[in-house]
């Protein structure tokens, strides 16, 4: 199935300009260049997350691109005296550190801001290399390290109260202690996993079902899969059922922990962009953890299904193929979410519509 993704109004307006506005982030101007915008979703995201106007976002993209090009040039010409660089969002310029005062004017002449620093980029990289080589000697309280060009130091992060192990680690690695800055943190880094429609999850480390659709803070699935605690397809702790409605309905709402990020996609890459109800006879596809991606057509709606475990009302029939373990999986028509797989027999598969499940759980779809 070929999916066509429609751009949002704001993104479409940006693409229509065909150019990036020049100038600093603080002052968007009407000047333009022929630089094409590579990702139409970038400007709206910058507006939302950095508090910029569309013009400021476009101007920032262009000035950051120019700063990156200038950094590569200066790193080459300054060689051993190059002390790293960072983007100054207040001025829209590149800030460059140099260890040789005689080269400050050279940096300024290029259009960048210049700062005299103690350590070269190669010295700081060497410190990181030594820490990496001695990584096995690091105490569990040490959560990581890396170069911070803004402070011209290698920043080593450690959990609060664990600073006693730092000196021993640094001594074993043989690094120059003056190149390292220690900062405390309140939490350890953790891997992030995507919540995607159609992926498997396990209930109470036993039975398996499938994710329906990502919603804010979790996902919707079949109610008959719950209740209980949930682990992902990788067997990593995922969360637990916040609400189960079965029988009468067949929907469940799972809240996920901070290791999991709900995404507005199905696990084959299909994006979810809404929940417009497909007409009877329209094509529809399903993603489930047993049979994968299967398609068919929407049949009769408002169906009452009498399972041995209880009766469910208001379901939609399809001729889409499914098997055990697909329960809860995503039914989608084009890019529009339709519902979560409930059950069926050898010729009919039923899904519970997503809209009443969203309304009942007070959740909203995460869109892709």
pLDDT band, residue 44 (cuts 50/70/90): confident
Residue 32 has pLDDT above 90, yes or no: no
pTM over 0.85: no
pLDDT value for 190: 76
Residue % of the chain over a pLDDT of 70: 89
Taking alpha carbons only, the member of 216, 362, 200, 186 closest to residue 288 is: 200
Number of neighbouring beta carbons within 10 Å of residue 298: 23
Beta bridge partners of 62: none
Active site residue 250: yes
Query: Rounded mean pLDDT of the chain?
Result: 87
What average pLDDT does this structure show over 104-125? 97
List phi, psi (to 5°) of 70: -65, -35
Q: What is the pLDDT of residue 40?
A: 66
> Is 176 labeled as catalytic in the residue annotation?
no
Q: How confident is the model at residue 36 (pLDDT cuts 50, 70, 90)?
A: very low
Residue 336 CA to residue 251 CA, distance in Å, equals: 18
Q: Which one from 199, 250, 275, 326 is the annotated catalytic residue?
A: 250
Mind listing the pLDDT tens digit for each residue in 274-301?
999 999 999 999 999 999 999 999 999 9
Output the pLDDT for position 352.
97
Mean pLDDT is lowest, of 66-70, 189-193, 321-325, 350-354, for 189-193
317 beta partners:
350
Residue, of 27 and 118, whose pLDDT is higher: 118
Quickly state the pLDDT bin for 112 (edges 50, 70, 90).
very high
pLDDT at 34 over 60: no
The yes-or-no verdict on residue 16 having pLDDT over 70 is no
CA–CA separation, 142 and 158 (whole Å): 4
The angle, 0 to 180 degrees and rounded to 10, between the axes of the packed helices 54-78 and 9-17 is 60
Active-site residue identified among 63, 81, 214, 327: 327
**pLDDT tens, residue by residue, 198-245:** 999 999 999 999 999 999 999 999 999 999 999 999 999 999 999 999
End-to-end CA distance of the chain: 17
Find the mean pLDDT for residues 330-335: 96
pLDDT of residue 39: 60
Residue 189 has a pLDDT of: 83
The question of whether 148 is a catalytic residue gets the answer no
pLDDT (0 to 100) of residue 46: 85
Position 12 pLDDT exceeds 50: no
Residue 317 has pLDDT above 90, yes or no: yes
Which carries the bigger pLDDT value, residue 259 or residue 42? 259
Q: What does the CA dihedral 327, 284, 346, 352 come to, rounded to 10 degrees?
A: 40
pLDDT at 20: 31
Active-site pick, 224, 253, 273, 287: 224
User: Tens digits of per-residue pLDDT, 174-191?
Assistant: 999 999 999 999 888 878
Better pLDDT: 42 or 131 = 131
The model's confidence at residue 61, banded by pLDDT at 50, 70 and 90, is confident
Please say if the pLDDT value at position 325 is more than 50. Answer: yes
**Distances in Å between the alpha carbon of 10 and those of 60, 140, 230, 326?**
17, 46, 38, 37
Tell me what pLDDT residue 191 has. 83
Q: At what angle do helices 166-173 and 121-133 cross, to 10 degrees?
A: 100
Cβ pair 210, 341 in contact under 8 A: yes
- 349/332 Cα distance (integer angstroms): 14
162 versus 32: the higher-pLDDT residue is 162
Average pLDDT over residues 339-368: 96
Identify the bridge partners of residue 209 per DSSP, sorted by sequence position.
201
Q: How confident is the model at residue 340 (pLDDT cuts 50, 70, 90)?
A: very high
Residue 28 has pLDDT above 60, yes or no: no
Q: What is the pLDDT of residues 70-92, one digit of tens each?
A: 999 999 999 999 999 999 989 99
CA distance 200 to 330: 11
């Amino acid at each position: 199935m070929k999916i066509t993704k429609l751009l949002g109004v704001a993104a479409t307006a940006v693409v229509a300009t065909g150019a990036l506005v020049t100038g600093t982030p603080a002052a968007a101007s009407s000047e333009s260049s022929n630089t094409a915008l590579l990702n139409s979703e970038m400007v709206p995201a910058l507006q939302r997350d950095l508090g910029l106007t569309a013009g400021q976002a476009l101007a920032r993209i262009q000035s950051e691109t120019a700063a990156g090009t200038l950094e590569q040039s200066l790193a080459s010409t300054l060689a051993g005296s190059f002390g790293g660089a960072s983007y100054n969002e207040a001025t829209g310029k590149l800030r460059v550190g140099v260890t040789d005062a005689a080269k400050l004017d050279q940096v300024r002449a290029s259009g960048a801001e210049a700062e005299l620093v103690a350590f070269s980029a190669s010295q700081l990289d060497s410190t990181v290399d030594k820490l990496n080589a001695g990584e096995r000697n690091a105490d569990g309280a040490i959560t990581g390290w890396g170069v911070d060009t803004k402070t011209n130091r290698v920043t080593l992060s450690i959990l609060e109260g664990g600073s006693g192990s730092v000196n021993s680690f640094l001594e074993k690695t043989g690094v120059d202690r003056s190149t390292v800055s220690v900062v405390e943190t309140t939490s350890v880094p953790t891997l992030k996993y995507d919540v995607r429609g159609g992926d498997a999850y396990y209930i109470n480390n036993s039975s398996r079902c499938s994710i329906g659709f990502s919603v804010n803070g979790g996902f919707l699935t079949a109610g008959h899969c719950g209740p209980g605690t949930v682990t992902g397809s990788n067997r990593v702790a995922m969360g637990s059922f916040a609400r189960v409605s079965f029988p009468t309905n067949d929907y469940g709402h799972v809240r996920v922990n901070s290791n999991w990020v709900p995404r507005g996609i199905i696990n084959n890459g299909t994006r979810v962009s809404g929940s417009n109800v497909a007409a009877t006879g329209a094509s529809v596809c399903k993603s489930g953890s047993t049979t994968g991606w299967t398609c068919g057509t929407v049949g009769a709606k408002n169906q009452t299904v009498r399972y041995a475990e209880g009766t469910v009302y208001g379901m939609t029939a399809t001729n889409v193929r499914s098997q055990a373990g697909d329960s809860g999986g995503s039914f989608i028509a084009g890019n529009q979410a339709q519902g979560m797989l409930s059950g069926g027999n050898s010729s009919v598969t039923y899904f519970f519509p997503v809209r009443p499940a969203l309304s009942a759980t007070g959740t909203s779809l995460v869109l892709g």
